[in-house]
Amino acid sequence: MLLNGKFLAGGPSLNSESTPGFFSSEVVNLPLLRQRAFNLRWAEVDSDVIPLTAADPDFPVAPPIIEAITAHISDGVLCYGPTRGLVEFREEVSASLEVGGIPAHPDQVLATDGAASALWASCRAMLAAGDEAITFDPVDFLLPHCCEVAGATVVRCPLEPISGAIPEGSLEQLIGARTRAILLCNPHNPTGRVLRREELQRVAALAVKHDLLIISDEVWGGIILGDVPMISIGSLGEDVARRTITVSGFSKTYGLAGLRIGFIHCGSRTLADQVLEASGAPRTTFGASVVSQVAAVAAMRDGQQWRDEFLQHLRRLRKIGASRLDALDGFRCPEPEGTYLLFPEIRSTGMSATELAGQLETKARVAVVPGEERWFGAGARGHIRLSFATSEEILDEALTRIERWSEAR
């Protein structure tokens, strides 16, 4: 049995008096995660495997979220919510976007059942057969996937190796008569890069010059770990803002994946009307649970302390994770600037990502996401992706297993 007894036993719940901090090893409730954490995580792997797969924290959510849901449901009134989402939800989202410099408006916010759903609804509203949409390589599969489901053809701009920077020059060559949109992911999944102002300005200038829409997936916008500041592309001036759709959600920053809550903000009323109409929300075929919206409001209003501690914890773990992986034979692992994803390049091991991930699962009993084309595009080849939104103890155990495997082969 590879797992320590203490992992198997699980820690006390968040309600325990002895809880020493939101992100201590003791608060990770493994028995409950084994029941509840799906999407390639604890509930879907063998009981002795540590999953560093889907980007979903192992920690209980911020207490104000639990309190807000409890208070909301206590009266039992769970009627139809407003079409675009609760006013307080849209106001808080708008305020948080304004902090990031986006000229936002609550009436241009639409509550969605998750960030993935927000991306899908945006693409459905804005793209059609015959359109081309440009995104990057590698990038999370959801960006090209949502374009394709909407009928558009995806054109990929390769990012620079290791740094994940958007290369100068090559993007404009991909823009043609049918190009309708550029889709960004910032901070970038899987490279962990926080896009620089200059990169964003170049993308924005091309969008303005060629009259393109920008869809910016900022679901990782709350997880900034290094010195590079998060800049929303929608904050780069009026001409950019009015053609920008910003999508995000509350899974990564607040651990609310199970509640399926995200949003779309459109940079103009015209775009907002188009997205709303195409979404299905006015006809109740699309929308977000009011309870999930209430949870997100609590996160935005009262989740600051929890989030600050989460970021402190993640900053410590990214150093530990990146340095120990970087030290492995054949691995090269930069520290992510944002996200809680490590994305080591592993070509010098002589193995493909699929092969290496397979060995890690079967021999080291650690599950990771292989850099396969279906997940991130061809540009992810020779990489694996590991989420470190777990306790120091679990990450240490996973890294130790990987180190032992590396030494033994």
Q: Count how many Cα atoms sit within 13 Å of the Cα of residue 124 in the half-sphere of its side chain.
A: 14
Interface characters, 269-308, with its own copies (x: CB under 8 A): -----------x--xxxxxxxxxx--x-------------
Q: What is the 3-state secondary structure (H, E, C) of 374-405?
A: HHHCHHHCCEEEEECCCCHHHHHHHHHHHHHH
Q: Count how many Cα atoms sit within 13 Å of the Cα of residue 257 in the half-sphere of its side chain.
A: 16
Output 254 or 343, the one with its CB closest to its own copies: 254
Site for its own copies contains 73 (CB under 8 A): yes
Pairwise CA distance, residues 53 & 370, whole Å: 9
- Judged by CB under 8 A, the residue of 183, 259, 276, 384 near its own copies is 259
CB 243 within 8 A of CB 208: yes
- Judged by CB under 8 A, the residue of 2, 3, 32, 208 near its own copies is 32
Q: Where are the alpha helices (DSSP H) in 226-336?
A: 238-241, 251-254, 269-279, 290-302, 304-326
- Judged by CB under 8 A, the residue of 7, 23, 120, 263 near its own copies is 120
- Among residues 350, 352, 345, 355, which one has the least CA distance to residue 325? 345
Site for its own copies contains 66 (CB under 8 A): yes
Pairwise CA distance, residues 222 & 299, whole Å: 12
Stretch that binds its own copies, among 198-206, 220-228, 252-260, 342-350 (CB under 8 A): 252-260
Site for its own copies contains 19 (CB under 8 A): no
Site for its own copies contains 111 (CB under 8 A): no
Site for its own copies contains 51 (CB under 8 A): no
Tell me whether residue 285 is exposed, middle or buried, using C-beta atoms within 10 angstroms of its C-beta: 0 to 12, 13 to 18, 19 or more: exposed
Stretch that binds its own copies, among 1-9, 79-87, 154-162, 240-248 (CB under 8 A): 79-87
Output 38 or 99, the one with its CB closest to its own copies: 38
Site for its own copies contains 260 (CB under 8 A): yes
Stretch that binds its own copies, among 12-20, 178-186, 212-220, 269-277 (CB under 8 A): 12-20
- Judged by CB under 8 A, the residue of 63, 103, 158, 167 near its own copies is 63
CB 323 within 8 A of CB 332: no
Stretch that binds its own copies, among 37-45, 189-197, 230-238, 357-365 (CB under 8 A): 37-45
SS3 216: strand
**Strands, DSSP E only, in 102-239?**
109-112, 132-137, 153-158, 179-185, 213-217
Output 116 or 230, the one with its CB closest to its own copies: 116
Stretch that binds its own copies, among 145-153, 178-186, 223-231, 399-407 (CB under 8 A): 145-153
Output 28 or 97, the one with its CB closest to its own copies: 28
Site for its own copies contains 129 (CB under 8 A): no
Token digits of residue 192: 């962990």
DSSP 95: H
Tell me the backbone φ, ψ of residue 14, rounded to 5 degrees: -60, -25
Output 53 or 235, the one with its CB closest to its own copies: 53
- Judged by CB under 8 A, the residue of 52, 104, 105, 114 near its own copies is 114
What CA–CA distances, in Å, run from 208 to 105, 182, 354? 21, 11, 40
- Judged by CB under 8 A, the residue of 2, 3, 54, 162 near its own copies is 54
Minimum CB separation of residue 185 from its own copies in Å reads: 15
Q: Residue 224 pairs with which residues in a beta bridge?
A: 338
Strand arrangement of the beta sheet that strand 179-185 belongs to: 109-112, 262-266, 244-249, 213-217, 179-185, 132-137, 153-158
Name the site residues for its own copies (rule: CB under 8 A).
13-15, 29, 32-33, 36-39, 41, 43, 54, 56-57, 59-61, 63, 65-66, 69-70, 73-83, 113-114, 116-117, 119-120, 141-142, 145-146, 149, 251, 255-261, 280, 283-292, 295
